[in-house]
């Protein structure tokens, strides 16, 4: 930070000298001319996926609360509207701004090698939160996330225990190419491998309620209500969309067609208590505190682990009813 302040100061003096001679540079000198000159805030650029789901809103809230000025941060926030190219451009912006650290919730796993290398060359540490990337882990300081694969296993094991008879399964997949979509599918498939649950179709609903509804409408048209026994939704928002489609088809979600979902956001838990969803595996979005602590440790030169997993629980309707009033999201 010291080095950057000095450089910014020199740039500012240079620009002031230029403007004094009437040929002011068009660039915004230093960029922090408006800085109150107060304490040394850690400047962090946070590249969020977008605002695709209830889970994402809770995660953004948690991150903004943790990377606050009173906690010693100056946060620049970017939401990339689920567009991987826009998200990479936002990270490039952060590098050009010369922030002290960058935090990313990468929409998809691939395509990160170049920009992460640029951050490394610019001596700006990167911490991943929530999802992870396929790039080598020497290109980021740490990943604060969740064990998506285990979330899929927990969902699949519940299905295996509760569906002994031949069962027709359809899957509402998360964003194509994202770590949670890849890993939740893999974990679930492994857990149902030697059961009589047959996956007849699987399609992405992009983690959104509308996406889940549209895909489920397509499945219902293709197979009919009687042709589907079970839905595995990679997140609650898509499960809630599927519930709308099933009810519009005159069937009863949670009975005629059972639903398993992941996230355990408020709306999902309420549908679970209503028995419209039968089982939910939690995916904890409250990662802000942990991520902020790791950014500080990295900037203090401390050694940090490459991976920090936040634990997930799972809920039946009865368990959801017990905890609903005490949950933070």
Nearest to 252 by CA among 236, 228, 269, 270: 228
d(C-alpha 58, C-alpha 132), whole Å? 18
d(C-alpha 187, C-alpha 234), whole Å? 11
User: CB 48 → ligand GZL: shortest distance, Å?
Assistant: 10
Nearest to 256 by CA among 238, 275, 229, 293: 229
How distant, in Å, are the alpha carbons of 94, 97, 121, 314, 316 from that of 263?
Answer: 30, 34, 36, 9, 13
d(C-alpha 65, C-alpha 328), whole Å? 13
Q: How many residues does the chain have?
A: 329
Give the contact letters, 120-159, x = binds to Zn ion (CB under 5 A), - = no.
--------------------------x-------------
Strand ranges for the chain from DSSP E? 42-48, 73-79, 101-104, 126-130, 142-145, 167-173, 197-204, 230-233, 258-263, 279-282, 307-309, 314-315
User: CB 321 → ligand GZL: shortest distance, Å?
Assistant: 22
Figure out which of the listed residues 46, 55, 112, 140 binds ligand GZL, where binding follows CB under 6 A: 55
In Å, how far from its chain's centre is CA 24? 43
Number of residues binding to ligand GZL, judged by CB under 6 A: 14
Nearer to ligand GZL, 75 or 280 (CB): 280
**Which among ligand GZL, Zn ion, none contacts residue 100 (Cβ within 5 to 8 A by kind)?**
none
Residue 149 sits in the site that holds ligand GZL (CB under 6 A): no
Residue list 249-278, contact with ligand GZL (CB under 6 A): 262-263
User: CB 286 → Zn ion: shortest distance, Å?
Assistant: 11
The set of residues, in sequence order, having a beta carbon less than 8 Å from that of 37 and lying 6+ positions away, is none
Residue list 84-143, contact with ligand GZL (CB under 6 A): 130-131
Number of residues binding to Zn ion, judged by CB under 5 A: 2
Residue 308 sits in the site that holds ligand GZL (CB under 6 A): no
Nearer to Zn ion, 146 or 246 (CB): 146
User: CB 222 → ligand GZL: shortest distance, Å?
Assistant: 25
CB count in 10 Å sphere of residue 329: 18
Residue 180 sits in the site that holds ligand GZL (CB under 6 A): yes
**Which among ligand GZL, Zn ion, none contacts residue 55 (Cβ within 5 to 8 A by kind)?**
ligand GZL
Name the pairing type of β-strands 307-309 and 314-315. Answer: unpaired
Residue 204 DSSP SS3:
strand
Residue list 181-240, contact with ligand GZL (CB under 6 A): 207, 235, 237
**Which among Zn ion, ligand GZL, none contacts residue 143 (Cβ within 5 to 8 A by kind)?**
none
Site stretch for ligand GZL (CB under 6 A), options 33-41, 53-61, 157-165, 219-227: 53-61
Figure out which of the listed residues 103, 197, 283, 304 binds Zn ion, where binding follows CB under 5 A: 283
Site stretch for ligand GZL (CB under 6 A), options 50-58, 159-167, 225-233, 274-282: 50-58
**Which among Zn ion, ligand GZL, none contacts residue 63 (Cβ within 5 to 8 A by kind)?**
none
Nearer to ligand GZL, 46 or 207 (CB): 207
Figure out which of the listed residues 30, 32, 45, 53 binds ligand GZL, where binding follows CB under 6 A: 53
Q: Write the DSSP symbol of residue 56.
A: H
Burial annotation 24-58 (CB, 10 A radius, 16+ → b, else e): eeeeebbebeeeeeeeebbbbbbbbbbebbbbbeb
Footprint of ligand GZL on this chain (CB under 6 A)? 52-53, 55-56, 130-131, 146, 180, 207, 235, 237, 262-263, 283
Residues lying near Zn ion in the complex (CB under 5 A) are found at: 146, 283
């Amino acid at each position: 930070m010291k080095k950057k302040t000095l450089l910014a100061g020199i740039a500012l003096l240079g620009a002031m000298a230029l403007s004094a001679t009437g040929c002011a540079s068009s660039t915004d000198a230093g960029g922090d001319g408006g800085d109150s000159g107060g304490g040394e805030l850690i400047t962090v650029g946070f590249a969020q996926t977008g605002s695709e789901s209830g889970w994402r809103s809770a995660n953004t809230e948690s991150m903004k609360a943790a990377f606050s000025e009173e906690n010693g941060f100056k946060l620049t926030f970017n939401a990339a509207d689920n567009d991987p190219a826009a998200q990479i451009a936002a990270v490039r912006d952060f590098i050009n701004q010369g922030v002290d650290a960058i935090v990313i919730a990468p929409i998809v796993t691939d395509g990160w090698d170049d920009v992460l290398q640029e951050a490394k060359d610019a001596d700006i540490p990167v911490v991943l939160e929530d999802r992870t990337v396929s790039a080598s882990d020497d290109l980021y300081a740490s990943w604060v996330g969740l064990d998506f694969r285990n979330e899929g296993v927990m969902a699949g094991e519940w299905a295996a225990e509760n569906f002994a008879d031949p069962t027709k399964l359809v899957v509402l997949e998360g964003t194509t190419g994202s770590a949670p979509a890849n890993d939740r599918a893999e974990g679930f498939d492994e857990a149902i491998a030697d059961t009589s649950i047959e996956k007849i179709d699987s399609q992405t609903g992009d983690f959104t309620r509308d996406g889940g509804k549209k895909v489920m409408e397509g499945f219902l048209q293709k197979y009919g209500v009687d042709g589907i026994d079970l839905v595995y939704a990679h997140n609650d928002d898509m499960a809630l969309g599927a519930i709308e489609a099933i009810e519009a088809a005159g069937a009863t979600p949670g009975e005629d067609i059972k639903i398993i979902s992941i996230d355990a956001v408020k709306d999902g838990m309420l549908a679970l208590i209503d028995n419209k969803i039968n089982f939910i595996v939690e995916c904890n979005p409250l990662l802000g505190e942990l991520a902020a602590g790791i950014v500080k440790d990295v900037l203090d030169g401390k050694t940090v682990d490459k991976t920090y997993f936040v634990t997930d629980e799972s809920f039946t309707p009865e368990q959801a009813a017990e905890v609903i009033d005490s949950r933070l999201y």
